[in-house]
Amino acid sequence: MKKITLILSLLLPLLIVAQEQITIMQYNLTYYGNTAPFDCDDSNNNVNDKNGYLNTIIGDVLPDIFGVNEIGNNNTFASSVLNNALNVDGRNYYSKSILNGYGDIVNLLYYNNTKFGMYSEDVIDREIDGDFLTRHIDIHTLYYKAPDLAQTKDTIFLSFIVAHLKAGSNSSDEVKKDDATMSFMNHLDVYNTKGYKFFMGDFNIKSSNDAAYQNLIDYSNADLNFVDPINRPGNWSANSSFKDIHTQSTRNNNSNGGCFVTGGLDDRYDIIMMDNKMLNANSKLKYVDGSYKAYGNDGNAYNSDINISNNGVVSETVAQALYNMSDHLPVVMDIEIESNTVGMNELSNKIELKYANPLHDNVYILANETDNYHLSLIDITGKTVFSDAFKNEYQFSSSKLQSGIYFMKIENQKGDFIIEKVVK
């Protein structure tokens, strides 16, 4: 880290405030690697097949945070998602949390390790009265790898709480869901869980009036309350007024051999809730307006299959992958993290850069005024590993770069320059 600090101090006369956009995704994987208690087996819910479907979905979303429910309680399955659906097709930057659950199916968190590091993990397994929860609630606290982390030694913490509440709607089921979220909120009240918090998972609730939901948004200690990003309260179940936010089921009649729930999209079970502190004007985290989606739901599949023709928000290939992968749709949302970053001068308004970060394809550079420019890629030891001159338009392939952190510097004849931190 000292090397990064030295390079930044040599290159950067100025730091400015910037935002980095983060994509959060939550998904119930429907008995991934697990056959109990329903009719799921290796023929109708094959892990290798599911990896292919999930890879297609991940490649379209490219989440930085990926919370999941219903992974079989075995590290083999947890690693299979990581190695065969996430870190493939040029992606090599995902890490996973520790498997902490009990029972046949558990929760897990995967994250982009170029942007986040794991700080701590915790598990809530008891109700307030001491009885065991139906399923664990898992707390994963990450720290943000801000561009100026080496200099400031300061960061932002984000805690992602992944839960899978009790299924069913009889009075006993409702009590179990109520107890689970109340136990979690009590845990927050007693213990100091770091940073901004997100509560996400399969809630298995029908309405915003359900006690399990109300516990999160209207707790006795208002400072701990969560916010539903889309603010669409009501009776969601079997209500066409909410057809654009329903997440179950992806199938109308075909149960996939009894493994999947049918009935078409008519329930909002899968939800991401965000910290109420994000509403403050001085918050370091901001919700990106309009970014929260029931991914793949274009509002035209109420009580229908998700792979009906002409899906208006995803490709036919992705719609088919969603249909095959799970009887739930994932939910996604974007946030912006404010931090100090490499900041330059007026040249930043004259150069357009197009690339994925982490790099896995070509980098495109377009200058909106005629000039002579020089491009340099500098590794964390200070060595220039690539350089070239160009005028208005330029592209280069990142395929020959070794994995690591680089600083991409573009300079004009006047000495104006910009620097971007990139990861391969």
Of 86, 25, 90, 67, residue with least CA distance to 355: 90
**Residues 158 and 70 occupy one common structural domain:** yes
- Residue with the bigger pLDDT between 106 and 409: it is 106
Question: Does 366 share its domain with 242?
Answer: no
Q: What share of the chain is helix, strand, coil (3-state, %, to 5)?
A: 20, 35, 40
Give me the mean pLDDT over the 378-394 stretch.
Answer: 82
> Quick one: average pLDDT of 249-269?
95
Is residue 5 in a domain? no
Tell me: do 104 and 44 sit in the same domain. Answer: yes
User: Which among 308, 339, 370 is the end of a domain?
Assistant: 339
Q: Where are the beta strands (DSSP E) in 151-262?
A: 157-164, 196-202, 226-227
CATH number for the domain that contains residue 369: 2.60.40.2550
Report the candidate in 418, 417, 422 with the shortest Cα–Cα distance to residue 406. Answer: 422
What's the pLDDT score for residue 346? 55
Condensed to tens digits (0 to 9), the pLDDT of residues 65-78 reads: 999 999 999 999 99
Query: 312 and 381 in one domain?
Result: no
Helix ranges, 88-161 (H):
149-152
Mean pLDDT of 67-91: 95
For the cut 80, the answer to whether the pLDDT of residue 183 exceeds it is yes
Q: Do 73 and 88 sit in the same domain of this protein?
A: yes
| Tokens encoding 343 | 């900041």
Classify residue 405: in a domain, yes or no: yes
Helix (H) or strand (E) holding 103: none
pLDDT average, residue stretch 173-185: 95
Average pLDDT score over the chain: 88
pLDDT confidence tier of residue 308, bands split at 50, 70 and 90? confident
CB hemisphere CA count around 22 (13 angstroms): 24
Q: Does position 15 have pLDDT exceeding 70, yes or no?
A: no
Rounded to the nearest 10 degrees, how much is the dihedral formed by the CA atoms of 127, 130, 133, 134?
Answer: -130
- Whether 204 shows a pLDDT value over 80: the answer reads yes
304 shares a domain with 176? yes
Share of the chain above pLDDT 70, in %: 90
Give the model's pLDDT for residue 188: 92
Rg of the chain over all Cα atoms, to the nearest angstrom: 23
Give the range of the structural domain holding residue 401, as residue numbers without chain letter: 345-423
Peptide bond preceding 249: is omega within 30 degrees of 0, i.e. cis? yes
Average pLDDT over every residue of 43-60? 96
Domain end marker among 320, 339, 358? 339
Contacts of 293 (CB under 8 A, 6+ apart): 313, 331, 332, 333
Q: What pLDDT shows up at residue 1?
A: 44
Task: Tell me which residue of 118, 114, 126 sits closest to 358, measured CA to CA.
Answer: 114
361 in the same domain as 235: no
Q: What is the biggest distance separating any 2 CA atoms in the chain, rounded to whole angstroms?
A: 73
Does residue 4 belong to any structural domain of this protein?
Answer: no
- Do 374 and 234 lie in one domain? The reply is no
Amino acid present at 146: A
Torsion on CA atoms 179, 181, 187, 190, rounded to nearest 10: -90
Distance (Å, rounded) from C-alpha 116 to C-alpha 94? 10
The number of distinct structural domains making up the chain is 2
314-352 tens-digit pLDDT: 999 999 999 999 999 999 999 999 865 444 455 666 788
In single-letter form, the type of residue at position 292 comes to Y
